[in-house]
Chains A and B, each alone.
Chain A
Amino acid sequence: MTRISEASITSPIGRDTPRVDGPRKVSGLAQYTSDFHFPGMLYAIPVEATIANGRLLKLDTSASEKMPGVRAILHRENIGLIFRSTFEAPFGGISVERRPPFEDDVIRYYGQYIALAVADTFESAKAAADAVRATYAKEKPNVDTHLVADEDPDVVMTTYGPAERLQSQRGEVENAFANAPVKLDQTYVTPAETHNPLETHATTAIWEDSTLTLYESSQGVVNLRGVLAQMFGLPKENVRVITQFVGSGFGGKLWPWSHCPLAAAAARQLSKPVKLVLSRRMMFQSVGHRPLTQQRMRLGATRDGKLVSLQQDYIYHKSILDPYHEDCGEATAFQYSVPNLRVTFGRAKRNVGAGADMRGPGRVPGLYATESAMNELADQLKMDPVKLRILNEPKIDESKGIPFSSRHLVECFELGAQKFNWSSRTPEVASMKRDGLTLGWGMAGCSWMAERFAAAASLHLRDDGTVRIACATQDIGTGTYTILAQLASEKTGAPLEKIEVSLGDTALPEGPTSGGSMATASVIPAVLAAADGAISALLSVAVTTPGSPFENRKPDDLAFQDGRVFVKQDGLNKGVAFSDLLRRANLRLVSGSGSSPMSLGNPKPKFSMHSFGCHFVEVTWQPEIARLRVNRMVTVIDAGRIINPLTGRNQIVGGVVMGIGMALLEHTTYDPQNGAPINSSMADYIVAVNADVPPIEVHFLDYPDKEINKIGARGIGEIGLAGVAPAITAAVHHATGVRVRELPVKIEDLLV
């Protein structure tokens, strides 16, 4: 019989753990960016362009300037110098919208900032901003939703560097497709979508003696510090960014946006703290969106369902200036086994604000297209879509010719099918009924990259038995505080309530951006190393402190477990708590620091690292009132070891809910006349509400992936959304017979 060690019974890793920051959140003690107040603080409100294309001819600020409480109306003439920022290798200085605010008089998208009103109160600032009068030379904006790729060079610049438009290629794709016995050639469209975290973007800037402190709702304080330091010509050490809590970001808060330097410039000029909080309308204009995509998919297969060719040619809309790349082809080249493959992309410039990463950027719309095409191919072949996928499961990553670090997608399909009772499905349209409703069943697979950013952390063991772990990453609502506390607890034996986690401050060791579902995987090695460092320092103290029970022992004779130091051969029972040792030595603390390098962008990886999963969906359909609802879902996720299943499940469910919105509800509409994102409110941009969310069953396979870190944990922030939409559209087809290839599925699509 295997002996279960005491440590593994008490290990906090893998245990459902309520958020350690929960009490602060529910009691209102958690300070979000707009909760910070400072003496003499001023309020800033940007003035937005009300055209999407043209020039700003004249700005009349005279009425605003005379209003009570108004301190300044800043614009191109008086904002002061703001530099452009640029990429800093290996992964810093990142910004999508590089043009500093007010740099020129050209208006390229609706809502572009043209001035900034600063006043003593929010109300005065708003009144002053409303009273600014702009005169424009207006030109017709191009917000056409039908995309034709612009003339572009073969290699284009993107946010993260150059990208080849022939993204991936192997075999002889054209011949293979031409000769394939079964062919599918369809185009799939996903609309522009807008990040709608409850907490809108917010900045409070404090400028004192050439130092800038920014309270910002940010998913990446370290990167933001670097960009702001560049924009204001300050050394990095003179800039501090603080983000204690984020009311979610969904990618919209990954990189800096123009409101941030605006607040800083106002603070510089007026020598007062300046707070700037975006309105919901501004959230639709100037802080990113998921671009509109149009993807032509061509699949060739044998009659028994083996893929022989796969082509994906996608186009997305982009803003006039910004290089954001919606990488819909990221997963295409390795998801399935196929000898002949080609992925290309094109871009179509539009008068829209910059695109930006939105939860599952690129891969989510990309998988919508590939998984939809697979579902259609299965129907064409009269084959179970689960079987089709298993039949085309690759043994290695065929795009790179390397093995996967850990891929259990087939097991995901099998478990999902079993939990959903997929085998009782009858494939004919509208063939399944229950309680007078028509049922539709659909499924799809998904994946998401698994990589690490560089990360550093420090850990203190303290004389009162507490532990402090510090890292300049941030908790964007996903549970990072709790994950770090669990890791520190695992290593030090301190209970969660004795662990202090400090995040979201560039004064701390540099931590990862909370993006790419990479924060957890990135911090693990750094935290473990920091803990090892602190423990090693503790053992030194133990053997050198006069009167210590371990005085004159060698550190190698000692071990540390469950918070106690002990002589290896004597066992844990004779151990001494670290707090006792520290007190005896009159030390407040011993510390350790750890860091780990970035895995992302490794030119010669040994393994292809990704998370995998699948979704099974049941919709109900009432043709008599054209009512379609998602009725139940089963999701299986293979994301390595799950450190906290409680918050992990929450992440997956949140992603699935967003997928329901993506499939059936969400789309940003640009007015064809003036280019405004016209549905710029939570009433008009509809997302799934509680009543739209059915029971969602989440299963984790929990296979540790030891290639990514010692714990074996990959990321889970985004994969829950990937693949939901194609599973739902497949279910819609099964129920209604209507194949919708342009999201979202609307009532009018089904009223046939």
Chain B
Amino acid sequence: MHTFEFSRPADQAAAIAGASQAKTAQQGADVRFIAGGTTLIDLMKLNVETPGRVLDVNRLPLDKIEVTSDGGLKIGATVRNSDLANHPVVQRDYAVLSQAILSGASAQLRNMATTAGNLLQRTRCMYFRDTAMPCNKREPGTGCPAITGSNRMLAILGTSEHCIATNPSDMCVAMAALEATIHVQGQKGLRAIPIGDFHLLPGRTPNRETVLEPGDLITHVTLPRPIAGSKQVYLKLRDRASYEFALASAAIVMTIAAGKVKLARIAMGGVGTKPWRSPEAEAALVGKPADAVNFRKAAEAALREAKPQSENKFKIELAKRCLTHALNMASMS
């Protein structure tokens, strides 16, 4: 772990001013905000993150969950994952989010981890986390040993020849299906970023994971008004029963009328380089009878573009079964 300076900005403006001095808000950032620290401290101990300055935002007034005037939900950046998952409004109206969060990590980690921190969770790719290894995400241009090495856990959607790292978040997958908006206060003022635009595909610059710039502070996330009568499911598949990242997961928000799918919002985890919304699956479903045949067709559509690596071809079929089963569960709920 490198030596760093720790401070606690008095307010948002000071936090943003402090972070604005960074050269980048992406990999290699010399200034980092810290909230729960469940990703940052871990990576600092591994020397993967080496910020010279760490700004503690835990005491900024960003820890509230409120119903908005338009009937949506506003979730503060430092709301703990446990508090979010167990909030009665979330459990009632955004069940997929509650289920997703509770399927991830452990109770201890969820008690620390925050909403904004979870949005910025880094990949668990083993090569990224080991500074003795080359990694295009950590050190651009050094190569990707995962493509030729151990890649069972890695992505099959949204990869590039430079990076196949999976986005590990469960929360983000549910938020993608819920069409969350991420609110950022930065040097140029406020921005509202749809979650689908927030994370970037690796392309040639896997070191850039989000659209955040130096000085950007995530203040809160909003969820649109709950969809009346929507059926929601988060299904996560993994090797062991708990405390493991997904091999494949699916978040479903769906309404069914007269036996037909009226609305479908579908996202997947464990398979993509970002939280993976699937418009293909949604298009394959809307207007069709809500039955097993169409669910499987939607899953086929979702994985059509999948590109497996040497060890993870099975993820294509696993993700299809995951999505199909999650749709089944939702339709019967």
The reply on B149 being an interface residue by CB < 8 A is yes
Please provide the chain A residues from 126 to 155 with a CB less than 8 Å away from any CB of chain B in the complex.
Answer: 126-127, 130
Which of the 9-residue segments B28-36, B240-248, B257-265, B273-281 touches chain A?
B240-248
Is B321 touching A624 in the complex (CB atoms < 8 A)? Answer: yes
- Which residues of A, 640-691, contact B by the 8 Å Cβ criterion? 664-665, 669, 671-674, 676, 678-679, 681, 683-684, 686, 688-691
Which B residue's beta carbon lies closest to that of A746? B239
- A14 to chain B minimum Cβ distance, whole angstroms, is 35
* Residues of chain B within 8 A of A664, CB atoms compared: 239-240
When chains A and B are docked, how far (Å) is the Cα of A751 from the Cα of B319?
11
- In chain A, positions 292-342 with a C-beta closer than 8 Å to chain B are none
CB–CB A676/B132 < 8 A: yes
Max chain A CB contacts within 10 Å: which of B47, B132, B247?
Answer: B132
A708 vs B5: C-alpha distance in the bound complex, in angstroms? 63
> Using a CB-CB cutoff of 8 Å, which residues 148-167 of chain B contact chain A?
148-150
List chain B residues, Cβ under 8 A from A691: 240-243
Q: For A68, give the chain B residue with the smallest CB separation.
A: B3
Contacts A626-B318, A747-B247 given; does A678 touch B149 at CB 8 Å = yes
Interface contact A748-B314, CB-CB below 8 Å: yes
Does B197 sit at the interface, judged by CB under 8 A? Answer: no
A747 engages B239 (CB within 8 Å): yes
Q: Does A123 contact B (CB under 8 A)?
A: yes
Residue B2 lies at the interface, judged by CB distance under 8 Å to chain A: yes
CB distance from A156 to the nearest CB of B (A): 32
| Main DSSP-derived SS at the B contact region | loop
Q: Which residues of B contact A679 (CB under 8 A)?
A: 126, 150
B145 closest partner in A (C-beta) = A673
**In the complex, what distance in Å separates the CA atom of A751 from the CA atom of B313?**
11
Chain A residues with CB under 8 A of B129:
681
Distance (Å) between the CB of A354 and the closest chain B CB?
A: 21
With known contacts A50-B132, A627-B237, A692-B242, A678–B150 Cβ distance under 8 A: yes
Interface residue B317 (Cβ < 8 Å from any Cβ of A)? yes
Contact present for B130 and A676 (CB under 8 Å): yes
In the assembled complex, which residues on chain B have CB atoms less than 8 Å from the CB atom of A126? 1
The reply to whether the CB of A9 lies closer than 8 angstroms to some CB of chain B is no
- List chain A residues, Cβ under 8 A from B245: 683
Could you say which residues of chain A place their CB within 8 Å of the CB of B8? none
**Residues of chain B with a CB closer than 8 A to A684's CB:** 124, 126
Any B CB within 8 A of the CB of A625: yes
Query: Residues 112-139 of chain B: 1 if any A CB is under 8 Å from the residue's CB, otherwise 0?
Result: 0000000000001011011011000000
Q: In the bound complex, do residue A123 and residue B1 qualify as a contact, i.e. CB atoms below 8 Å apart?
A: yes
In this complex, how many residues of chain B approach chain A with their Cβ under 8 Å: the count is 34
Residues of A within 8 A of B219 (CB): none
For residue B325, CB closer than 8 A to chain A, the reply is: yes
Tell whether A692 pairs with B240 under 8 Å between CB atoms, given A50-B132, A673-B148, A748-B314. yes
Q: Is B254 positioned at the interface, with any CB of A under 8 Å from its CB?
A: no
Known: A669-B150, A671-B150. A689 touches B240 (CB 8 A): yes
- Interface flag for B235 (CB, 8 Å): yes
| Cβ-based interface call for B301 (8 A) | no
Cα separation A669 to B152 with both chains bound (whole Å): 11
**What are the residues of chain B within 8 A of A75 when measuring CB–CB?**
none
A347 at the interface (CB under 8 A from B): no
Q: Is A629 an interface residue (CB 8 A)?
A: yes
Of residues 525 through 579 on chain A, the ones whose CB sits less than 8 Å from some CB of chain B are none
Chain A residues, CB < 8 A from B235: 625
A32 to B81, CA, bound (A): 34
The minimal Cβ–Cβ distance linking A687 to chain B, given in whole angstroms, is: 8
Once the chains are docked, how many angstroms separate the CA of A673 from the CA of B142? 14
* Chain A 271-300 near chain B by CB (<8 Å), digits 1 or 0: 000000000000000000000000000000
On chain A, which size bracket covers the interface? 20 to 34
Residues of the A chain whose Cβ atoms lie less than 8 Å from the Cβ of B145: 671, 673-674
Q: A686 contacts which chain B residues (CB < 8 A)?
A: 239-240, 244
State the CA gap A684–B150 with chains docked (Å).
Answer: 11
Interface pair B1/A626, CB less than 8 Å apart: no
CA–CA, A665 and B148, complex, Å? 23
Residues A747 and B314 in contact, CB atoms below 8 Å apart: yes
CA distance A691 to B317 in the complex (A): 25
Take A689-B242, A692-B241 as given contacts and tell me if A127 and B318 are in contact as well, using a CB distance cutoff of 8 Å.
no
Most buried by B among A50, A625, A627, A683: A625
Given known pairs A123-B1, A127-B2, A679-B150, the reply for A625 and B321 (CB within 8 Å) is yes
Cβ-neighbour of A626 out of B148, B237, B328 (below 8 A): B237
Q: Is the CB of B242 within 8 A of A690?
A: yes
With a cutoff of 8 Å between Cβ atoms, the chain A residues found around residue B149 in the complex are: 671-673, 678
Alpha-carbon separation in the docked complex, A708 to B145 (Å)? 54
Q: Smallest CB-CB separation from B235: which chain A residue?
A: A625
* B37 shortest CB reach to chain A, Å: 16
A625 in contact with B325 (CB, 8 Å): yes
Is B241 a contact of A689 with CB atoms below 8 Å?
Answer: yes
- A683 and B321 contacting across the interface, CB-CB below 8 Å: no
If A665-B240, A691-B240, A692-B241 touch, whether A751 touches B314 (CB-CB below 8 Å) is yes
Docked CA distance A669–B150 (Å): 8
A683 and B3 alpha carbons, distance in the complex (Å) = 26
Q: How far is the CB of A269 from chain B (nearest CB, A)?
A: 26
B313 contact set on A, CB distance < 8 A:
748
Beyond A625-B235, A679-B126, A691-B241, whether A674 also contacts B322 by CB under 8 A is no
Q: Which residue on chain A has the smallest CB distance to residue B124?
A: A683
Contact B318 A747 (CB under 8 A): yes
Fill in one digit per residue for B300-333: 1 if any A CB lies within 8 Å of its CB, else 0.
Answer: 0000000000000110011001101100100000
Bound complex: CA A751 to CA B308 (Å): 15
Q: Which of A611-644 contact B (CB under 8 A)?
A: 624-627, 629
By a CB distance below 8 angstroms, the chain B residues around A688 are 240
Contacting residues, chain B, for A674 (C-beta < 8 A): 132-133, 145
Which of chain A's residues have a CB closer than 8 A to the CB of B240?
664-665, 686, 688-689, 691-692
Smallest CB gap from A687: residue in B: B240
Residues of B within 8 A of A127 (CB): 1-3
Bound-state CA distance A379–B104 (Å) is 40
Are B317 and A751 touching (Cβ within 8 A)? yes
A130 and B239 form a contact (CB under 8 A): no
B129 CB → nearest A CB, Å: 8
Question: B149 to chain A: closest CB distance in Å?
Answer: 5
Q: Which residues of A contact B244 (CB under 8 A)?
A: 683, 686
In whole angstroms, how far apart are the Cα atoms of A676 and B127 in the complex?
Answer: 11
Distance of A124 from chain B, by nearest CB (Å): 10
Taken together as a complex, chains A and B put the C-alpha atoms of A619 and B47 apart, in Å, by 42
| CB-defined contacts of B148 to chain A, threshold 8 Å | 672-673
Q: Find the A residue at minimum CB distance from B241.
A: A691
| A752 nearest CB neighbor, chain B only | B317
Inter-subunit contact A751/B318 (CB<8 Å): yes
A127 to B324, CA, bound (A): 50
Write out the residue numbers on chain A whose beta carbons fall within 8 Å of the beta carbon of B322: 625
Which B-chain residue is minimally distant from A126 (CB atoms)? B1
A673 neighbours in B (Cβ, 8 Å): 145, 148-149
CA distance A686 to B240 in the complex (A): 8
Chain A residues with CB under 8 A of B127: 678
B325 touching A624, Cβ below 8 Å? yes
Residue of A nearest to B311 (CB): A748
CA distance A669 to B149 in the complex (A): 10
Which B residues, 189 to 248, have Cβ-Cβ distances below 8 Å to chain A? 235, 237, 239-245, 247
Which residue of chain B has its CB nearest to the CB of A49? B132
16 pairs across A/B with beta carbons < 8 Å? A126-B1, A130-B47, A624-B325, A625-B325, A671-B145, A672-B149, A673-B145, A678-B150, A686-B244, A688-B240, A689-B241, A747-B237, A747-B318, A748-B314, A751-B318, A751-B321
By Cβ-Cβ distance, the 9 closest A-B pairs, closest first, are A748-B314, A691-B241, A691-B242, A50-B132, A692-B241, A625-B325, A678-B126, A678-B150, A692-B240
Q: Chain B residues in contact with chain A, CB under 8 A?
A: 1-3, 47, 124, 126-127, 129-130, 132-133, 145, 148-150, 235, 237, 239-245, 247, 313-314, 317-318, 321-322, 324-325, 328
Sample of 4 more A-B contacts, CB < 8 Å, known A665-B240, A689-B240:
A626-B237, A678-B126, A689-B243, A748-B318
